[in-house]
């Protein structure tokens, strides 16, 4: 038998040390088998199971093979190991080493710990480190989730699982798959490493590094993150998602794709509101859509898209600009209504159609929704069109009126009608590109026919008053209409020209965890402390996350809000 070791008497000031030897509580039947188990004592149950104690743990079994000199035992049949009132393990067989406090259990192993059940075929339990490990597949069940993996380690302090290889979480509301995942039993928080996918009823999240609160379906990804959410795909360095508030946000190198209309928004900060079916974006924000088989780029300090899929409204606020191959412009703000196909350029608008500069109080571009080609344009009040004389380089062709109406054909501006108080200055050339004269005329209405993006013919309608002047008879100062301002140096010639220096020099938020590792245990402890603080609830200052706004921001809300930055 194995007996408690009796040492010398203890001094009254000294605390007795707990024996390292295994203590037999109930041995029942005793035998030996030197051939099969040399040096071992064999105990078997009678009306009670064999029972042992060792440094705070009890082991019951049907048969025990005890090696007293090595301070170890083999237990067989209906094994139960209990440590305190919180940890219990059952199995068919177990090897236990009293020197290292290491147990190896196999055959239908079940470990329970305060509301958690771990099932596996083989489990190593290290009582010294308070850890349990399996590598042949295991299942963990708690009050919220069922988790499976090929490899797993359970850290009893701080009640954390580390799962490796084919990790799967089954929840009534969603499923999660990952290559590596840390899971905290108390908070039900999951930290993902490597390719991970969360699939809910209305969303799908992919990331290679992230956090997820499995109780409320809220979290973020900070490496190669993508969320498929409400007919949109959201990608970015850091992407946050919250099911309860129906909100998602992204920070740094963002791409939001409208899967129905095929439009794309790129920015460095964006918010998506499912209930309002809206997107808010800022920090070098640009909307990219396809018009006439060409990409249309639209930029503003702030972009906002609202409305159902077939009724989207895009707004670009402050320093708004747009560019496509043969058409570009800028103004204070832009509003595009998908249902009507009308793009409004509001406040100090200017557009360039190849070499033609057009200005007015307000400019409307109309899209043919069926063909998705430019149909027409309107310049309302103080319409003015200017183009440089590219043949003789002697000045500028000009036309002005109250309103201007243009018509596109085959993706090119074909006719221009100017109405009310119209005036024209036009350099006329013969077939040999010799200057014939300068036409300066006033009229009630004018129609200009375009060819190759240049004026081919001018028709004066109703009481024209003017003449064609020889170059020498028309002074240079008389060759500009009142209100003439040439702004060719402002022309947007490439998609990169829609951004100014402030856009190109934005300092991106540093997202923790991408370049440097994070102490996850410390992070989890802080997160749980914040959950108990009414001021900081749902806010982790260390990870720079903030509560999502309840309503989408107004057009005045141009300052980006930090979200899901980790």
Give pLDDT, residue 533.
Answer: 47
The reply to whether omega before 158 is within 30° of 0 (cis) is: yes
What is the pLDDT, as a whole number, of residue 516?
A: 56
The pLDDT value given to residue 7: 34
Query: Which range scores top for mean pLDDT: 407-416, 490-499, 545-554?
Result: 490-499
Q: What is the pLDDT of residue 551?
A: 36
Query: Domains in the chain, ordered, with CATH?
Result: 22-136 (2.60.450.10), 340-497 (2.60.450.10)
Contacts made by residues 440-446, CB under 8 angstroms, sequence distance 24+:
440/466, 440/467, 440/468, 440/469, 440/474, 440/478, 441/465, 441/466, 441/467, 442/466, 444/419, 444/420, 445/401, 445/417, 445/418, 445/419, 445/420, 446/399, 446/401, 446/417, 446/418, 446/422
pLDDT digits (tens, 9 = 90+) for 181-201: 999 988 899 999 989 999 998
pLDDT score for 509: 85
pLDDT at 534 over 50: no
Question: Within 13 Å and on the Cβ side, how many CA atoms surround 422?
Answer: 26
pLDDT digits (tens, 9 = 90+) for 478-505: 999 999 999 999 999 999 999 999 889 9
Lowest mean pLDDT among 25-39, 434-448, 506-520: 506-520
pLDDT for 232-263, tens place per residue?
899 999 999 999 998 999 999 999 998 888 88
Is 50 exceeded by the pLDDT of residue 537?
no
| Averaged pLDDT for residues 144-164 | 92
Q: Is 526's pLDDT higher than 90?
A: no
pLDDT of residue 514: 61
pLDDT, residue 182, reads 93
pLDDT at res. 274: 86
Three-state secondary-structure class, residue 529 = helix
- % of the chain exceeding 90 in pLDDT: 60
The label of the residue with tokens 């989890």 reads 524
Whether residue 293 has pLDDT greater than 90: no
Whether 188 and 181 have beta carbons less than 8 Å apart is answered as no
The predicted-structure confidence for 308-328, as pLDDT tens digits, reads as follows 887 889 999 999 999 998 899
74-88 burial, b at 16+ Cβ within 10 Å, e below that, comes to: bbbbebbbbbeeebb
In this predicted structure, what is the pLDDT of residue 157? 85
pLDDT confidence bin for 385, thresholds 50/70/90: very high
- Residue 371: pLDDT band (50, 70, 90) is confident
Nearest by Cα to 517 from 167, 191, 158, 177 = 191
Reported residue count of the chain is: 566
Q: Is the pLDDT of residue 337 over 80?
A: yes
Q: Provide the pLDDT for residue 531.
A: 65
300 pLDDT higher than 80: yes
Model confidence band, residue 457 (pLDDT cutoffs 50, 70, 90): confident
Least confidently predicted of 187-196, 310-319, 451-460, 513-522: 513-522
């Amino acid at each position: 038998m194995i007996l408690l070791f009796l040492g010398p008497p203890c001094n009254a000031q000294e605390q007795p040390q707990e024996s390292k030897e295994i203590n037999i509580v109930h041995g029942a039947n005793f035998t030996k088998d030197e051939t099969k188990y040399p040096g071992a004592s064999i105990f078997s149950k009678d009306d009670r199971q064999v029972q042992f104690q060792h440094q705070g743990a009890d082991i019951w079994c049907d048969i025990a093979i005890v090696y007293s000199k090595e301070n170890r035992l083999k237990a067989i049949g209906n094994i139960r190991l209990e440590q305190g009132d919180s940890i219990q393990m059952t199995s068919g067989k177990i090897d236990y080493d009293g020197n290292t406090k290491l147990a190896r259990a196999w055959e239908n192993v079940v470990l329970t710990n305060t509301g958690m059940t771990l099932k596996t075929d083989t489990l190593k339990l290290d009582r010294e480190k308070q850890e349990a490990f399996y590598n042949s597949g295991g299942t963990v069940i708690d009050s919220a989730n069922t988790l499976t993996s090929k490899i797993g380690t359970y850290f009893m302090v701080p009640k954390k699982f580390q799962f490796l290889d084919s990790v799967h979480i089954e929840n009534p509301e969603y499923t999660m798959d990952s290559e590596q995942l840390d899971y905290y039993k108390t908070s039900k928080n999951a930290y993902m490493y490597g390719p991970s996918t969360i699939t809910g009823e209305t969303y799908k999240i992919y990331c290679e590094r992230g956090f997820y609160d499995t109780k409320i379906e809220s979290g973020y990804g900070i490496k190669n993150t993508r969320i498929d959410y409400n007919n949109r795909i959201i990608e970015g360095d850091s992407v946050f998602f919250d099911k309860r508030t129906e909100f998602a946000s992204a920070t740094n190198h963002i791409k939001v794709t409208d899967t129905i209309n095929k439009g794309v928004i790129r920015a460095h900060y964006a918010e998506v509101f499912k209930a309002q079916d809206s997107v808010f974006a800022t920090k070098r924000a640009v909307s990219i859509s396809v018009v006439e088989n060409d990409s249309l780029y639209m930029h503003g300090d702030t972009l906002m898209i609202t409305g159902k899929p077939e009724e989207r409204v895009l707004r670009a606020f402050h320093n708004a600009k747009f560019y496509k191959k043969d058409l570009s412009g800028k103004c204070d703000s832009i509003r595009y209504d998908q249902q009507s196909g009308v793009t409004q350029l509001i406040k100090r608008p200017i557009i360039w159609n190849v070499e033609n500069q057009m200005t007015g109080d307000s400019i409307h571009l109309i899209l043919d929704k069926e063909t998705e080609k430019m149909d027409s344009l309107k310049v309302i009040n103080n319409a003015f069109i200017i183009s440089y004389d590219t043949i003789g380089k002697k000045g500028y062709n000009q036309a002005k009126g109250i309103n201007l109406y243009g018509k596109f054909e085959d993706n090119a501006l074909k006719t221009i009608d100017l109405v009310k108080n119209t005036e024209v200055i036009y350099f006329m050339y013969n077939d040999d590109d010799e200057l014939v004269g300068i036409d300066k005329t006033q009229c009630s209405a004018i129609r200009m026919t375009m060819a190759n993006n240049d004026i081919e013919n001018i028709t004066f309608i109703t009481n024209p008053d003017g003449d064609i002047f020889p170059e020498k008879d028309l002074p240079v100062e008389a060759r500009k209409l009142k209100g003439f301002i040439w702004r060719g140096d402002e022309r947007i010639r490439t998609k990169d020209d829609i951004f100014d220096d402030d856009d190109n020099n934005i300092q991106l938020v540093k997202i923790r965890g991408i370049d440097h590792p994070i102490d996850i245990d410390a992070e989890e402890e802080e997160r749980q402390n914040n959950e108990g603080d009414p001021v900081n609830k749902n806010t982790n200052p260390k990870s720079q996350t903030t509560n999502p706004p309840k309503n989408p921001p107004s057009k005045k809300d141009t300052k980006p809000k930090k979200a899901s930055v980790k």
